[in-house]
A and B are shown apart, each in its own frame.
Chain A
Amino acid sequence: MLLIPCPYCGERAENEFSYGGEAHKPRPEVPEEISDATWADYVFLQKNTKGTYYERWIHSHGCRRWFNLVRDTLTHEIHGAYRMGEAPPKVDEKTYV
């Protein structure tokens, strides 16, 4: 089980949290003017990096706040958590292919 450092509550077990997918994914400004393919790309496709990944989590059984997490999707190493709107921590990014 992951031990996730909620920026508000501190380290808690993974089962208190829910996953929110890729972070820092800009929503198209005017969705009705883009093609279905571009919209589908935004809605359904994620980078899904095998390595360092920036992702959203919500502490749904705790403070009920969304925040961002930097996690290695292969090793499960957690590099840090930061609040919405904050800049991500400097991380030595890795990608395993």
Chain B
Amino acid sequence: MPEATEPLTAASPLAAVWEPGEHGRIGPQGPGVTFTERRDLTLASFQARRAGVEALAGAASENLGLALPGPNDSTAGDGLSLIWVGLDRWLAVAADTNGPALLQRLGEALGETAAVADQSHGEYVLQLEGPQVRDVLMRATPVDVHPTAFPVGRVVSTVMNHTSVQLWRTQAERYLVVVHRGFARDLFKFLTTMSRDVGYRLP
């Protein structure tokens, strides 16, 4: 086995295509949308084990202080959010980069009721924010993003540019797109193309 010469460092999948600055048609109000890499988050999936969803829901509310969200919904607590991704599957999103700590927290809280797996290395989170973010999403997805149909907190598993994503509205003008890391660059190019008309900023 070859000797490791340098420690592994985390790299962004968008490093080669991320050009800081303003792009596209910038109007008098400034860029319509700002893209941000949310590499400050840790993600872990968990799924109900044999004891069932009710046992898992009980453990989550008792030990995490969070209700398990239902279909197309999320719940948020102190530095930790849960989002629904399937019938008995959820994604936990922590606002720090300490993967082992999140796994330990979930493991201790959920115990035998859930199977937990770190997804931080496999999933990539891109944030879109700005006054015209909805115009961009209306071009990018057939999902109804009207505020009455897509309130803050709603999260849907859907398809964007032929790729499975989770689209999550965390604030009035802020959406997170969770995508498999290998598709991140392609999706970024697609979303920035959709944003050229409103102008976009890459910090």
Q: In chain A between 17 and 51, which residues have their CB closer than 8 angstroms to a CB of chain B?
A: none
Which chain B positions have C-beta within 8 A of A13? 142-143
Q: Given B86, B143, B159, which contacts A63 in the complex, CB threshold below 8 Å? A: B86
B87 within 8 A of A: yes
Chain B contributes a number of interface residues (CB within 8 A of A) equal to 12
Q: Tell me the chain A residues, 55-86 only, with Cβ under 8 Å from chain B.
A: 61-65
Q: Tell me the interface secondary structure of chain B in the complex.
A: strand
CB distance from B155 to the nearest CB of A (A): 11
Q: How far is the CB of B160 from chain A (nearest CB, A)?
A: 9
Interface of A is mostly: loop
Determine the residue in chain B with the shortest Cβ distance to A62.
Answer: B157
Given known contacts A61-B158, A62-B158, A63-B157, A12 and B86 CB-to-CB distance under 8 angstroms:
no
Of the candidates B71, B72, B87, B159, the one whose C-beta lies within 8 Å of that of A61 is B159
Q: B197 CB to closest chain A CB, in angstroms?
A: 22
Give chain B interface residues in 62-114, CB to chain A under 8 Å. Answer: 71-72, 85-87
Q: In the complex, what distance in Å separates the CA atom of A75 from the CA atom of B71?
A: 30
Q: Do A9 and B142 touch (CB < 8 A)?
A: no
Which residues of chain A are near B178, meaning CB under 8 Å? none
Cβ of A16 within 8 Å of any chain B Cβ, yes or no, is yes
**What would 26 A/B residue contacts be, using CB atoms closer than 8 Å?**
A1-B142, A8-B71, A8-B87, A9-B71, A9-B72, A9-B157, A10-B71, A10-B72, A12-B142, A12-B143, A13-B142, A13-B143, A16-B158, A16-B159, A61-B157, A61-B159, A61-B164, A62-B156, A62-B157, A62-B158, A63-B85, A63-B86, A63-B87, A63-B157, A64-B86, A65-B87
